[in-house]
Structure 1
């Protein structure tokens, strides 16, 4: 959230933590004179490591309530950005499929080595997609492959985008199944089979202002309210008045979790996907940060789903020792614990995605199943 701390931001953090100047200084392990000097700087920035890293660490370790209180206090304005024109979004789709450790090793041997979220071992390569200018295949050493498909869209309405989303999912799953089997030379009917697609929308332009802007981001993360998926002709848009009514009156959905910061960004995570828009580019998350988090989450979700399927089929879930219950224990710690240098906004984003995906519970359940199988 804060890439360079100003005196105002330092004071707002202290107030959010409800500490006196002396108590705040003691909490950070520095002198109260340093705190007073920072706060007296008003809008003067302190990018020096001695101040920035200390304050970043304090915020990363703060409770959820303190971070929310600080985010609210930091917002310079309650208003969304002014309208900038037609709807324009960058659609990021993630299509995970379990291929097994051996297949992952063989496939990854011919790819570029990389990491997702800075810690999960993987390899990647560009692949051709019939309807996307950019598609990258990420192969994780734990046995999961994830297609990352990027498709810029300029729909006339959110309902149109929602229908395209659901209709394209069917073709993307069919394409991904054929592509991964071709890459692995696995053409038998029980070969790797991707089961779902998850979307991340980065809003780059919009016609909305004020509360409509916020509602639009909510709708992007939860498109089902705009679509009739029971139609015999496949997904079709609901009457246009539904979208108009929702934009005018707002959308209060219990499964949507906010991770935006007023004056900096607007972001929502839901079971169906994630939506994000940058207000202050220098302070907001980057597309790579959002994509990196989703790649790690989807890879692990797919991995734990494979373990769950084995259990439900009455089999002992068997994984190589390197990717057994200790691997999942480490993954759970990585995704549920704030890092010392992690910004507050990144922490909020990760927590929102973890909560709405249900991955934390899945990691614990899979960890227990693999531990029992190993005993």
Structure 2
């Protein structure tokens, strides 16, 4: 039996490679002679840098930059001097896990630190930059990142807006005069992990704001700010990103980069799948195990599980997802080809306890899945 393991990370608990290791333990308990192929995956959010780096190489650069709320953090990115390219993961500098839950500030959090990484990569010779968005703490429309590259976001008085999405409703104009020619000549690509538009009921503020600590009134403030940003971007560049699928990724960062940098947005999980050779690894497989920390209605919108299910179904291979939490219905995922999904939970547990026990629970769930498959 050939079993391919292609999970995302269990965020806050296990890396994708650690998930693969736990799954492999369970598979080999059930089928000791199984051929196990481990393909750690990511979707453009946390963990993408490691997956792409393991497959393509590159030099790791570490840099002290501003975190989501301005406190210093040490972040990293990948630089490939031979190809004059870089891979920057937004979560490394501007990710939600970098903010203590008790001190989240969704109106002030921004992406300046990620912009510092991008600027450093270009200074070191990168002429093509892949920005992996996802897992952000902010809803600033990418203005922090862009500010670090020389863009200025101004109020009607001419004063520069303070950091964060909470101030964007006062945006009057965007000054591009200070953007270096080096930045203008750089090719930017964005690895997106969602298909949400910038604004509206499925937009960045409405859907992801509460996950970042925004209450109802803060969501309304962020929505107004993103709508104003979209209007000014359209006036300034002629590019309307209000309803563009994926523009809402990373608190609207994708939308800002599409309009002001001419960036090309790509489905993150597809980009990673190609880089790590997932399509070829699936050929001849008897079963695919995938998974992520939480399976819900967002999982069908450009996440790892949805891609793995689709690729497996195209080859007639059963695909089973293991997750810490499952929120039904999973109708869309099943429609994409997911055979079944199982929670690894073995009873009521606190989140911290679940995280600590995740390797053992994953191994047990993988073992039982394989026993059913070979029965």
Same fold (TM over 0.5): no
Larger CA Rg, structure 1 vs 2: 1
Given the two structures, how large is their TM-score scaled by the length of structure 2?
A: 0.28
Higher helix share: 1
Given the two structures, how large is their TM-score scaled by the length of structure 1?
A: 0.28
